[in-house]
Structures are given as C-alpha cells and as structure tokens.
Structure 1
Amino acid sequence: MAQHPWWQGAVIYQIYPRSFQDTNGDGIGDLKGIINKLDYIQSLGIDAIWISPFFKSPMKDFGYDISDYRDIDPMFGSLDDFDTLIAQAHQRDIKVIIDQVLSHTSNEHDWFNESRTDKNNNKADWYVWADAEPDGSAPNNWLSIFGGSAWQWEPRRCQYYLHNFLTEQPDLNFHNPEVRQAVLDNVEFWLKRGVDGFRLDAINFCYHDAQLRDNPAKPKELRQGRGFSEDNPYAFQYHHYNNTQPENLAFMQEIRQLLDRYPGAVSLGEISSEDSLKTMAEYTSGGNKLHMGYSFELLTNDYSAAYIRETVTKLEQEMTQGWPCWAFSNHDVERVASRWSLNDTTDPKQAAMLSALLASLRGSICVYQGEELGLGEADVAFDDLQDPYGITFWPTFKGRDGCRTPMPWRNNGEFAGFSTHTPWLPLCQEHAAYSVEQQLAEPDSTLQLFSHFMAWRKTMPTLLFGNIEFIDTQEPILAFYRRYQSERTLCVFNLSDQAQLLRLTLTAPSKHTELRHNVGHYDDGSITLESHGCFIANV
C-alpha cells in the first residue's frame, strides 16, 4: 500500500468554519475552534480536512468572495492561528486542504477597485469587461447561477463586467497571462505555509469564451439542477461558452506544475459543467493536470441503485487515467440524511449505511461536517436566512443555510456547545439529540459506526485502491466487487427500509465488517440484508 500517494483512497472531512466551533463568543466558528476539535477529527479515522474559505472577505457569499487571498479574515483568527492549526493537524497525521476560489474575486479586492476605475489602468484587463449592445443591453445572454444576467454595469468604465455568481463576485480574465501568474502566486503563498493541497472552487469557470457567444437554449425537459434550483433560469441554457473552455486545460497543467514542486501537495477540482463526468475525466487526464475531480452527480435527489450504478459506471468509462472523489453532502446542497430520506425523517441506520456506501466506492471521498452524526437538513425560517441565494429564490428554494447550521457538540445548553453567544444561524433544536456528546455515549450510534467503519476501511486495500465492478441487481439493492491484486471484496447495500434478499453464490467469506445492527448475513447462497443493511466481505 506504500506505493500509493496519501490522497488516493483518502477520507477528507469538510469543515465549514463559520459553523464548526466558536471559541471567542461571537457566534461564528473560527480557526481556534478547529484546533480545539482536532482530537475529535482524528478519532473519526479521516486522513485530511478540507477547510472552506477563511480569507478576508466582505462575506457577501460567506467567504467565496475574497478581498485578500493572503490573509485571514479577523472573524476567523490570524495567520498565526492558521500556522498553529497546520502544526497541530500534522502532529496528528491529518493533512490540511484549503479552498482556493480562483475564477473570481470580491468586488472589494484591490485588483477590481483599480480595474473598474477606467479602461487604461494597470489592471484594466484583469477582469472580463465588455461594451454594451447598441441598445444598452448586456453583451450577451449569459446568466448568473444566483439569478438574472451575468453582467453588471459599471458607470466608471461605461462597460459591463461578468459575474457568474453574485454581482459582488466579478470574474477574472484568465486570457491575461498576468492574471494567471498572480493567481498562482497566491496559491504558492499557502503552499509555503505548509498546506497539503487545495479544493479548487468552480475550477472550470476560470475561462470564458473570448468571442462572448450566446449560450443556446435548453429544452424544458432537459433542465436539471446540479447544485442550483431547478426553477432558476440558469437551467434554461446550455452553458457552452461561459465556462469549461478548452483553454482551461492548459491552466490545469500550470497548477499541476506548481504543485509538483511541493511533494505530496494535491489538487481537488470542483467541477459543474454540462457533462461534469466527462469534464472530470479531462481535467484529471495525463498525469499532468488535477489530481482529483469532484462533481455534484451524487448530490442530486435521485436515490436509486440504478442511478448510483450508472453514474459511477459512466465516470469509470470516461476517467481511465484520473482519480475520482465522491461526496453525498457538502455546504451547497441539502444534507443527504434528508435528501435521500425515505419517509421525511432522518434514520440513523440509513445514515450509517450511506457513509459505508460512500467509503466503498472507488476513489477518495469527502464527508461534510455532521454527516458522521447523521444530521438532517435544518428548517431555517425566512427571517433567519443569511444565504442570498435562498433569499432570492424563496419559497420554492430555501437556499443553503439549512445545511450550514452550527455543529451540535453537546445535548444540553442553549447553543449545544457550539458557542456561548447566539450563533450566526440558528442552531437546529432537533440536532441536539444527535450531538457528539450523546453519540459518543451510545455504542451503536451513527457516529460510532462511522468511526468504526473508517478505521476498518484502512485495513482493506481493496476499498482503498481497488477497481470496481458492478453486479446487475434489482432495486433497491446496490452491489459491486472491489478488486486489488489477488483480493476481491463484495459490497452489497440495501437502499430501502425493508429487509431484502439477494441470491448470490459465494465462497466462504473470510472477512467482513462488524457493523453490529447495520449488517447483512450470508447463508447458503443468499445474502439477507436488514433495513438499510450492508454486507461487505472478502470473497
């Protein structure tokens, strides 16, 4: 197993710092809060943490609008705190991955403040500027993910600027080599501070079509959301020209060349395109681009064995050289315990099974904070919403606040151990029953099963590195083999809340998980799976 780089087969634990642990009593999580919980994180059996943005920012999109890429926003702490976090994590053999938001900046970044002043300054071509149409309208029909036109008028330049996200997030012009070099210099700043890699936000959005061609319309029956509301006009277009341009592949190579100068440093690209699986394959091909790709394909509402099997199979066919990374939850979508719930309530057994399923797929995995507890989506009232996306599309889409509420550390106290002050988002009262404190006291809790499985997985090279081969099964059973060298592991999952039977002749299983109540049984040619049960065995 030593010949594999550390990130292959890794379990990456995503931390949304605003909601993880508050140590200074302002109701917002901080870097010291992460430091304080490193022993807990280590106990989960994970390999790395991915920390969502903590850089200086006006917080219009809660850190994904960066005004200074080389400093910490005071609400999260200081550079000294970050250095301490790196050192403390590394002492526990935990790698540290941080977000890098390269495609756009905040409109309060010094680069944009200079660029917007006129058409002749030193940063005039650092952002995507375009003249109005003769009638004063936007340069083309491109739309913002957050609603409406992707173009905003700037009276000082008498031009429009492009923003694929909020108007406060102007897009950089990657056709300008000075921009690419400045971006890479910012990335290297953090490499020099000891980070182990980067999750690259919206990385396929770096380049735009230089000709500014209109996106074609998409038929109504093909409009599907991937991380955005399906009633959003963004879904009405094929986004052929405002992202995923061929020039971006060369920039992926530039990123890789930089990372290769820092042994062990890894890149994980977030990719959302018209064919995200194909783009993942392209962006990880040849051993000279990104190390891993990450998409929204398993962050949808389709919870069926057929969909999971077809999605993974398609990626396996496309990605013949790269390495995948899978996730069931993150900070942008409804929590999986609610999204894939079978009866509108969270089921601890289902949550434990889903973590085992995620960790059995070929590739590395991202686990979102609270997923190990089986937390469901919080219901945040409109008056408490912070997310501009949810405020815009309420009530048909409530935005992303429901998955971003504070972590419940204790089952008592007003704020469940997250803070001594009213949190920035209300703490979900239902989450207190799923607190870390409560679940550590229960041998068969979702948390205990999660930690047990992840520790056991580290002993299974088939699950860490093996190929995957699906078995043709009927709903609601998902089954596949993982093969590595001379070993073969069978993985079978019951995606329903009713007991299931799978007839499959096996040699006597030599090793199987000990998931206690979440287990399947093999006897005389049949595998019996309890409600949300799973059966994993070397065969």
Structure 2
Amino acid sequence: MVRHCWRAACCAYVVLLVSVVSAQKDWWESASFYQIYPRSYQDSNGDGIGDLNGITSRLPYLKSLGMTAFWLSPIYPSPMADFGYDISSFTDIHPSFGTMADFQRLVQEAKKLDLRVILDFVPNHSSDEHEWFTKSVNRQPGFEDFYVWQDPKAGTNREPPNNWVAAWYGSAWEWNDVRQQFYLHQFHKKQPDLNYRNPAVVQAMKDVLRFWLDQGVDGFRVDAVPWLFETVGFPDEPLSGQSSDPLSQNYLNHIYTLDQPETVDMVYQWRELMDQYKKDYNTTTKVLMTEAWSALDVVKTYFNDSNNRQGSQMPFNFQLITRLDQNSKAVDFQTVIDSWIDIIPAGHTPNWVLGNHDKRRVASRMGGDHMVDIMAMIELTLPGITVTYQGEEIGMHDVDISWADTQDPAACQLTEDTYQEGTRDPARTPFQWDATANAGFTNASVKPWLPLAADYATVNVKAQQDTTQNSHLKVFTELMNLRGTKTLIWGGHKTLVLGTNVFAIMRSFPNDKRTYVVLTNIGPTVETVDATNLDSTVPNELVFRVVGVSSKHVAGETIAAKNIQLQPYEAVVLSNSAAGVTRRSLMGVMFCAALMMAFFQTRRNCVRRRALVKMWSVACVTVLLLVPALLADEHWWQHANFYQIYPRSFKDSDGDGVGDLRGVMEKIPYLRHELGVDAIWLSPIFKSPMADFGYDISDFRDIHAEFGTIADLEALASACQAEGLKLILDFVPNHSSDESDWFLKSVNGDPTYSEYYVWHPGKTLANGTRVPPSNWISVFRGSAWEWNDVRKAYYLHQFLVKQPDLNYRNPALVQEMKDVLTFWLEKGVSGFRIDAVPYLFESTPVNDGYPDEAKSGDTEDPDNPSYLVHTHTQNLDETFDMVYQFRKVVDDYKQLHGTEDIVLMAEAYTPLLNIIRLFGSDTAEGAHVPFNFEVLSNTFKDTTGKQFYDNIKRWLDVVPSNRFSNWVLGNHDNKRVASRLGVARADLYQIALNVLPGIAVTYNGDELAMEDVYISWQDTIDPAACNSNPKDYLQYSRDPVRTPFQWDDTTSAGFSTNRTTWLPVASNYKTLNYKAQKAAPRSHVKIFKALVRLRKQRTLREGTMEMQLIGDNIIMIKRHLEGVSTVVAILNFNKTTETIKLSVFDGLPAMFEVITSSMQTNYIDGSVVGRDEVVLPPDAAIVLEGSVANGV
C-alpha cells in the first residue's frame, strides 16, 4: 500500500510539476513592443527615406529603452500608393528600404541584442500591380478568383454591384476594362481585395507567413483584419444615419463588409500555422497581433472561441486611443481601462496601445506636453503587454503639413478644405534623434520625405539623454525598468479615482513585498489625496520611484501616504521600501505548494500513519533537491560588468569638494543606460576618522557624514533597484578604527568587548625592556604591534596604527560581523566586496609571544613588509572557513527573503591556489567572485603578447570548471590602466578582458582612459605614502589613481561646483572628459560601451572560448555559439603594423562585422572585413563578429 501511495504522489507530482513550469510567462506575455515606421526612423543612404540599415544602426537605442520586440510597418515591394500597404510582392523588400540581405542582417543583429522582430502582414489586399492581380485581370487559370470580382448591377449602365463604400471615401468598387468587371477595394482603388473564399488564396497567404518565419521573424502584426471577408451575395448595406454624404464611410452601417464570422476563423487558422511552426522547428513562440478597430465584444472573439480554439495572442486594444482625449477626466480613464480588463478571457493577457502611424501622437491628441508622462505612466504600469509608437518616448508632436506637401493618399482623396480630417502625415514625420540638421534622421543636404517638426532642436533623443534635468525619455526609461520587476510582471492591479481628478493604479503581488502606487493628476488644479484609500495594504509612508517632468519630487524621496499633494498634471510612481522576491523564488513557493497539495490528495490511500510520515519526509527532500534544479536560471552576476566607484571622487552633489551618495545616485543613468553596467561597487562609505579614507571604520552600521546619511543609502539602493542596477558595498572585516566604540570599550576592559581585538602584553627582554610579542610587520611599514598605555598591552594592526585588527577567534566578534552583513542587506544592497581577506586570522600565541616570521631575503629594509615571509599572518586555514561562513550568511538571507543571489567578492593578493580555495570547498560555498589579479599584478607597459597570454592562461588553467572566471584590470590601489600600461594599449586591454568568459570589473575612469595625476609630497594625503619619505613616497602613494572623475570641461571637471576638491583634478580634464568623448565620433568610452553591449549577447554569455598565440605578440581570442555567431578579438602587442589572417581558427565565416576597435585603427564600427585582411597598427586591438549566414 505504501508503494502505491508513493506512486500516486509521484504521478501527482509530475502533473503538478508540468503545471508549475507552464505557469512561467512566455516571452511575449509581459513584453514591450516598439512600432517603427521605417520611412521615418533612420535614413542610412542619404535619400531622405528611412531604411533597414538605418534601423539596424539604432537597435542599441531600442535595447537601451528596455524593449522586448519591434514591429516594422510594411517594407515590401510596393508602388507606394499607400506607402507600403499596397504590396506588389509579399516575399521581397522594397529597394527604398534595402535588400533581403539587409533584412537578414537586421534580424541577426536584433537577435544578438535579444530583440524580437515583428513584421506587418497585410492580408486583406495586394497592390493592383501585383502579378496575382495582373493574372486575375487576364483570367489566367488558377488566378481567376484570387480577387473579388463582380458584374455591374443588373439592368444598369455599368453601375457598381451595390452601395458599398470604401474606408477612404467613394465607392468600394472599381471597373476594369480588360476583365469587364468590377473589383472590390475596401481601401484605395490600387489595393484590390483578395478573395478569402478561394482556398488557393488562403494557402498562398499562409505560404507568405511561412516564408518570413523561415527568415527568422518572431511574429506578425496583421493589418485590417475586419475586412477579410464579405457577405455572400453582396447585398446593399443599410444607412447609418451618421452622415448625409453617400461617399463617406460613415454613411453606411457595415454589417456585410466588416467582422464576418469567417474572419475570426481565418485568424485561428493563422494561429494554428504559427503554433505548428514552433512545434516543427522547436522555436520560441511566434505571435499574432491583430489590428481591428471593432467593438469590444468583437475584439474579444479574436482571443479564442468557446471550444478554446486559440486565435491572436494580442488583439490590439485601441481603447486608450479611441475613447480618451484632452477632455477626458480621471473617471473616464478608469472606465476605459476597467472595461478592457473585464472582457479579457481567462488565461489571456491584456495589451495597451497608446499610439500608431494612423493616429495623432499622444502630445497632440491629448492636448499637449503635460499629458505625455501621464499617458506613459498609465500604459507602462498596467498589467500585460505594451505597444509604443516611435517618438512617443520623447514626446514628439504632430507636424502641420500643408495641402501642397501632403503625401497620404487617404488625405489626397479629399479636398484642401477637408484633407486634415483624413491625413495621417502629421504622425509620420521623421524621428528626432538630435539637434543637427534634419534631426539626425538624414544628411543635412537632403530633403526628408516629410518635413521635420519645428521643435526638433529641443525635442530629440540626445537632448533628453544629456540633460541634467528630468525628461520624457528618462521618465519612459525608468518606467520600462520598473516593468521588469516581479510585481509589474506577475502582480494584480486595482484602479481608483482619488480626490476630484486623480487616477490611481495599485500594483501588488502576494509573493513579493513591494507595492507600487501610480498617481496621475488629470486636471489643471492642485489635488491632495490619501493613497491608503487604494487599499488597506498601502503603508503610511511611500517612496517616490519615478517622477514625471512636471513633478517637484525626486526619486528616493519619502512622503506620507495619507497626504500627497499633486501639482496640475503631475504623474508619479511610489512604492513601499521593501525588497522584492525573485521569480525563481516565487516558482519555488508555487512548486512546493503544488507538491504539498498533490501529496495530501493521495494521503487517503495510505492506511498507516507511519507510511504517511515516511512518504512526507521523502516528499520534502524531493522538493528541496528538485526545486533548485527545476528553477535554475542564469544568475545575474555570472557574466556581469561590475563598476567600482571610489565615492570621494565620483560626483559631489553638495559642493564640499568630496563625492557623496547623492552624487552617485545622480549618475545612475550614466552607469546603467550609458555604460550599461550591471552592478556598482562602492569603496567604504561608513563612519570613519578617515585615517585610511574609509578603511578605518568607527561604526560599521552608519554612513560617514561627508557621504550622506542612512536615508541617502536607502534612496540609492532603491534607485538602483528601480533601474535594475545592483549595489555592492565594501565590507572591511579585518579591522576597525581605533575610534570605534568597540575598541574604546576593549581598551577599558569591557567584558563584552575585551576580546574583540588581538591583544598581547608583549615580551620582556633580559634587561627588562618591553618589546612586541613578535617581529610581524604592518602592510603600511613598521611593526604590526602598537602599545596601549590604558590597557597596558600591545594590539595587532596589520595596516595603520589606527586600524586595530579584529579577533576572529572570538565567536562573539564573528557573530557581530555577520550581523553587520545582515544590517546592510536589510537596506537593499545586493552583495559585498570583502576587503583584505588574507589577514583575518593569525597564528595562535606560543610561549610568551607569537611566532616570529622568517626573513624573505627580498629587502634589507626591516620596516618593509617584504622583509618577511608572512606564514603566520596571512592565508591561514581559518581564514577560508570564515569566508565560507560569510557566504552562508548571505545565502541564508537569500533563502529566507527570496531575493536574487547576494554576491560576495573577495580581495586577496595571494597565490592562485589560495584564490581558488576562496571559491569554496567540497562541503561549503565561498566567495562567488574571488578577485583574479593575475592581469592587474603581472601586466606592465612593456608586457609582450606571450606574457599577457600566460597571465590569462595561468588563471584559466586553475579555475574549477564549475566556477566563473573574473577579470580585474584596475582599482583604487593601483595606478590607472592608461598610466600603468600606456594610453596606446588602454583599449587593447579593455577589449581583451571584456571578451574573455565570465565577469569583468572596471574602475571608475578607466572607461575614459583617465590618467593618474601627479601629487606632490606636500599635497600627499594617502597614509601608505605618508608613512614613507619624500624620496620614495610615489611608489606607495595611491592618491594619483583616486583623483576626481572627469565629467566635462566645466569647473572641477563637473565633479564639483567647488574649485577646491579633496584631491586635485587632472590638468587635462578640459579635453579628457566624458562629455567630450560622448560627442566625439570615436572615443575610449564608446569602445567600452560597445564591449559592454557585446557582453550581453548570447555568444559571449554562453559560447565556447579558444585562444591562440601567434608568434610572441599577437593574441587571438575566439568566442563561438553554434547557430548564433562567432566573435574574434585580435590583440597586436607588436610595435609594428601587422596584417593578420584569422585562418588559425577553423570554420570561421568569410566576412565579419567590426564591433569595435582601438582608437588608433581606421576601422569603423559596423563595417565589414574579410577573415584574411585584418590590419592592426601597433598596440591595437579589434573585435569582429560573424554569423553562419555569412558563409564559411
């Protein structure tokens, strides 16, 4: 019986396991789609018309917005009577847009960025210049009935068959003299309707779908769906009573030409084709988006029928366009949104469309600029899918197009007096990229196909990215980042009207701890509202997460929920301050719950209680073992770009000459959206006397006043989380400050703290002289022991005298430091970099002191730490175990709170085998990222290619196969890359380390190739140098690498408004700064950004690696992912120009695209080179990418 019970439980477990896995959202279910009108997006060839290569060049912009997919309006061959919606070939590309090769390249590049490609599918009609129509006109066999043909009305002089009116004015019938019949055209007369009652037409259009699926597209937006079928017999349609003009579409009630039952069935057939294609070729889901300006009860039928036959995943929801305008009130918003949600069938996903190429832009339609953020905030925080039309993210306005300049055929069929009622040109004007001539859309000398907006000099992407103020683009991007949170992906929603005219949305998720509250003041007066009226779960205090352009609040600011004052047309997103729960932990909870249910449903079959207990125990173990494997996904840190910030030198927000937390928060857009890094690590920000600039901590649970407050840290953590940026803090466990309360209490013998530090009375010589307990030497020179007159004992300090070592042989101290980790985790940080790991433990005392260390023979200077071999003070076995214990703290916190991985990074300048031990043991996990200093410590200006190759290989040869490599090029303790290794090779080393597998760590400023600053002996403040002498101090000083970040050419390089900064700014800041490099055609920072983008692609995250040394000075690194692409980096360490053949690697594509290259090369990013013709100047490097499509 027990066996049968267990079998039953296992069967239930399998069923529920499948249901739990299927509960994960498919890629499209929370996706953000971006509509591109290709003629108006980016012109690459100077003809005034946008094209495919222009779109390809702008894919990084789409990725930076956070888009999942983009939909292209028609790009097929066409006479352009309706700008592409009159198609003369459904399986080719119009020459104005490019070639099929251009399209294939677009798809390839999009896939590298994990962007999905959606095409417009126009099934209702073709062009009258399509060969099908020509054959049908001539009654060629097989094509006679491809279109809807009818004889004239009986008994008339060639009158149309009935009274049907086209959507674009006038009769829907056109006489053809050759065929001597009328053909139906529900749109332009050059767009004859296809006949879907002919099975051959149905099959031909299905073949079109398959053709483009074979090209790699991810789905289709289906145009003009309601017009596919007409009633048999072609009866006259009744009058509507809405117009007296018999040629107007509104004159008739279109009961015979729109929304016929067969239309919905056709959509179901297309869905079946897409699903079968997915099954046959093992692809991701292919999606259908259907355009139907129909009543809600009709649109609903496109989802599925009563037999659960599936149709369109996204029947477009046009309610935000058709039912809201500049006169709408908050209650109208609620009605429109709730009415759509209410009709969505169970198991289907809402979608929200704010604009498109056929309707006025939001800023124009809704009454002005003040509504742009409101509409974006509402659309992007509602549950489900969003569709954004190009330009809405920057608040573009419609352009007034004169009758003489009008291009739209829908308007041209009207008159000069009435054309503006039908024109769509104003919403189709060119995209506004920057303030240059023609807004960066096309060459300055070219006339764009439609006129540009007069305001493009101020309303453009670059202006809104670069401004230090808020902008529509920044708001949009912040909202897109918010859409990636678990609450907005999975959570429920509630809408409410607060006050007179405030529309509110609440998003919450039972398995998460975060609730979001969206408040939009739709009216022209100030409103004060109580957000707790939304729900009893809304806390009394809320934090601003995203604020609209008109708001006076800032992200991270807190406010009482019961008394929120909103300015006219102000829009904000607020939340509680709790950390969220990952999707993975949610799935674990769901799985466990499902398995518990399955188990207890089978318990009635188990007759003995003992069997039940045994079975439940096994089930619990099964859950614990299987859930992690089942739900495992890529951990965020495994291929991340970490960026080290030295806070004193990054950005000063208050003008005191010292960088601070608010300054870091101000630069989050630079870090996340400009550079694209995944995590920032802050050097110490804790309370400190600053004897070692923060590494001497007097309170491990507080913030140093120069940097800000605990509230500032929490605001920074929240802002980082909102942007998807991880925040890593420095954890300094080896020592505290001698001004710490712990130390002062230990000095005075407080029983709790007495053994928090390493104390010893010292040795007494025969002559009575007191000496330290051992010969140990401090890292900062001189004895590692300091006498304390109050305690009458020596204390150990392996660094400064003011940095007494903590005693990790005291369990109370160990717990205290573990509690410090937990304290900061509760503030929202995502991990820690552990400082000075090797020094945590020392050997135990022997006899009357500690064991002396042996002389090294490396120096005759007895005060130099290199004088001794540090066998008793570094890398003791207990040190590694302590790291394992720290790991358990963060892992336990992760498990308890359901967070993502909390990362430990360990600093240890120690032999490689010790570094490897820091990863963990057979029984315990250690640091996720034990820093790999092989490159940093062993690479110099004159390093050869072979030496650098060996530096890389030494690490790769020892790192365990189940661990992730990391590559550190610089930090706050070593000279900057450009100074240490030479400016000429700065790009080479960035390229090398960013194409290697694993994690990359960059020190602030190295992305600009900033150089060290000479600091005189008199101005030196680094204690490591001050403990030296005027002759030798420069070899110890770390001040030169810690000078302020160079943002621009203004006062103090934009670091501070104060002309006096804590360390001097580099004299070259006028030319070497971020602003200058951003504006330059090529620059170090642009190379770095290209590398970060490349690292996010699948080939570098999942691909294999092969490295070859050619001679002594050429290194080639190959990264390859089968079926995706091959990336090759070439590094020239020679002092001569070299021509390099890639043939050392097998199976390479014939052609490669240049991803980026060193400043001294002549290559242009995006250009194409052959595999045997790469020419590199001295000290230069290049990164190339090729795909299978380029041939082998």
Q: TM-score, normalised by structure 2?
A: 0.42
Q: What letter is aligned with 2:539?
A: T
Query: How far did residue 210 of structure 1 move?
Result: 1.6
Partner Cα distance (2:76, 2:503) in 1: 41
What SS does the corresponding residue of 1:56 show, helix, strand or coil? coil
1:477 pairs, out of 475, 490, 502, with: 502
Aligned counterpart, 1:490: 517
Q: Any residues of structure 2 matched to 1:356-371 within 5 Å, and which? A: 356-371=377-392
What's the CA shift for 1:57? Answer: 0.5
- How many angstroms does 1:179 deviate by? 0.7
In the TM superposition, what is the alpha-carbon distance from 1:507 to its structure 2 partner?
Answer: 2.1
Q: Equivalent residue for 1:226?
A: none
Instruction: Look up the SS of the partner of 2:525 in the other structure.
Output: coil
Mapped to 2, the partners of 1:325 and 1:193 lie a distance apart of 26
Q: Does 1:282 align with 2:301?
A: yes
Q: Does 1:523 align with 2:549?
A: no
CA distance in 1, matches of 2:188, 2:541: 54
Higher RCO (C-alpha under 8 Å, 6+ residues apart) = 1
The C-alpha deviation readout for 1:472-500, integer Å capped at 9, x for no partner, is: 44653222333444455432211234322
Q: Which residue of structure 2 lines up, in the alignment, with residue 507 of structure 1?
A: 539
Q: Secondary structure at the match of 2:316?
A: strand
**Match in the other structure for 1:172:** 194
Pairing of 1:329-340 with structure 2 (within 5 A)? 329-340=355-366
Corresponding residue to 1:410 among 434, 441, 445: 434
Separation in 1, partners of 2:165, 2:40: 30
Q: Give the deviation of 1:104 after TM superposition.
A: 0.7
Aligned counterpart, 2:36: 15
Residue 472 of structure 2 corresponds to which residue in structure 1? 446
Q: Is the 8 A contact 2:118 2:219 kept in 1?
A: yes
Match for residue 121 of structure 1 among 141, 147, 155:
141
Give the Cα separation in 2 of the matches to 1:510 and 1:478: 17
Q: What is the match of residue 297 of structure 1?
A: 319
Separation in 1 of the partners of 2:209 and 2:291? 16
Matched, 1:248 2:263: yes
**SS of structure 2 residue aligned to 1:210:** coil
C-alpha separation in 2, matches of 1:14 and 1:287: 28
- In the alignment, which residue of structure 2 is the partner of 1:65? 86
Q: What secondary structure does 1:307 align onto?
A: helix
How far apart in 2 are the matches of 1:454 and 1:195? 23
Question: Which residue matches 1:212?
Answer: 234
Q: Distance in 2 between matches of 1:475 and 1:422?
A: 48
Aligned 1:49-448 pairs, distance under 5 A = 49-118=70-139, 121-134=141-154, 135=156, 136-220=158-242, 233-260=248-275, 261-262=277-278, 263-273=284-294, 275=295, 277-285=296-304, 286=308, 288-300=310-322, 302-303=325-326, 304=328, 305-321=330-346, 322-341=348-367, 346-347=368-369, 349-393=370-414, 394-398=416-420, 399-413=423-437, 415-420=438-443, 421-443=446-468, 444-448=470-474
| Equivalent residues of 2:42, 2:442 under 8 A apart | yes
How far does residue 78 in structure 1 lie from its aligned partner after superposition? 0.6
Q: Is 358-367 or 158-167 further displaced after alignment?
A: 358-367
Tell me the distance in 1 between the aligned counterparts of 2:509 and 2:247: 44
Distance in 1 between the 2:104 and 2:216 partners? 8
1:528-539 aligned at under 5 Å gives the runs 528-538=565-575
Letter in 2 for 1:500: E
8 Å CA contact retained: 2:303, 2:345: no
Aligned residues: 521
1:462 pairs with 452, 462, 487, which one?
A: 487
Counterpart-to-counterpart distance in 2, 1:353 and 1:123: 51
Task: Give the drift of 1:203.
Answer: 1.6
**Who wins on radius of gyration, i.e. which is larger?**
2
Provide the secondary structure at the position in 1 that maps to 2:288. Answer: strand
For the 8 Å contact 1:10–1:46, the answer to whether it is kept is yes
CA distance in 2: counterparts of 1:155 and 1:231, whole angstroms: 25
- What displacement does 1:529 show? 1.9
Partner residue in 1 for 2:940:
none
Distance 2:114 2:525 in 1: 40
Equivalents in 2 of 1:451, 1:472: separation in Å? Answer: 26
Q: What residue in structure 1 maps to residue 1021 of structure 2?
A: none
Asked if the contact 1:323–1:363 (Cα under 8 Å) also holds between the matched residues in 2, the reply is: yes
One-letter identity of the residue aligned with 2:570: G
User: RMSD in angstroms over aligned alpha carbons?
Assistant: 2.3
Contact kept? 1:173, 1:179, Cα under 8 Å: yes
Report the Cα distance in structure 1 between the residues aligned to 2:112 and 2:44, rounded to whole angstroms.
21
CA distance in 2, matches of 1:516, 1:408: 21
More helix by share: 2
Residues 83 and 495 of structure 1, relative CA distance in 2, 3 Å threshold: same
Give the Cα separation in 1 of the matches to 2:408 and 2:481: 36
Shift of 1:5: 0.9
Q: 1:31 to 1:42 in 2, by over 3 A?
A: same
* 2:879 equivalent in structure 1: none
Extract unaligned runs of 5+ from structure 1: 224-229
Q: Report the Cα distance in structure 1 between the residues aligned to 2:102 and 2:130, rounded to whole angstroms.
A: 23
Query: Contact 2:268–2:309 (CA<8 Å) still a contact in 1?
Result: no
Deviation at 1:418, TM superposition (A): 0.9
Distance of 1:518 and 1:477 partners within structure 2: 15
How far is 1:518 from its partner?
Answer: 5.0
Give the Å deviation of 1:335: 0.8
Structure 2 CA distance for aligned equivalents of residues 105 and 96 of structure 1: 23
CA distance in 2, matches of 1:383, 1:433: 27
Shift of 1:28: 0.4
Q: Partner residue of 1:227? A: none
Q: Is the 8 A contact 1:471 1:480 kept in 2?
A: yes
Which moved further from structure 2: 502-511 or 5-14?
Answer: 502-511
What secondary structure is seen at the aligned counterpart in 1 of 2:107? helix
- In the superposition, the TM-score normalised over structure 1's length comes to 0.91
Describe the superposition over 1:95-125 as per-residue Cα deviations: whole angstroms up to 9, x where unpaired. Answer: 111101011111111111111123x632111
Preserved contact between residue 403 and residue 419 of structure 2 (Cα < 8 Å): no
Instruction: Report the Cα distance in structure 2 between the residues aligned to 1:509 and 1:137, rounded to whole angstroms.
Output: 72
Rounded to whole Å, the distance in 1 between the matches of 2:540 and 2:110 is 41
Indicate how the Cα distance of structure 1 residues 216 and 363 shifts in structure 2: closer, same or farther if over 3 A, else same. Answer: farther
Residue 369 of structure 1, CA deviation: 0.8
- Assess if the C-alpha contact under 8 Å between 1:280 and 1:319 holds in 2: no
CA distance in 2, matches of 1:36, 1:296: 30
Deviation of residue 524 (structure 1)? Answer: 5.2
Post-superposition shift, 1:531? 2.9
Conservation of the 8 A alpha-carbon contact between 1:42 and 1:94: yes
Contact 1:509/1:537, CA 8 A, preserved across alignment: no
Rounded Cα–Cα distance in structure 1 between residues aligned with 2:235 and 2:507:
45
CA gap of 1:336–1:395, structure 2 versus 1, over 3 A, is farther
- Answer yes or no: is the 8 Å Cα contact 1:281–1:315 preserved in 2: no
Segment drifting more, 194-203 vs 517-526: 517-526
Identity %: 36
Structure 1 residues 449 and 287 mapped into 2: Cα distance closer, same or farther (>3 Å)?
A: farther
Residues 493 and 533 in structure 1, CA contact (< 8 A), matched pair in contact too: yes
* Maintained 8 Å contact 1:293/1:323: no
Q: Which amino acid aligns with 2:428?
A: R
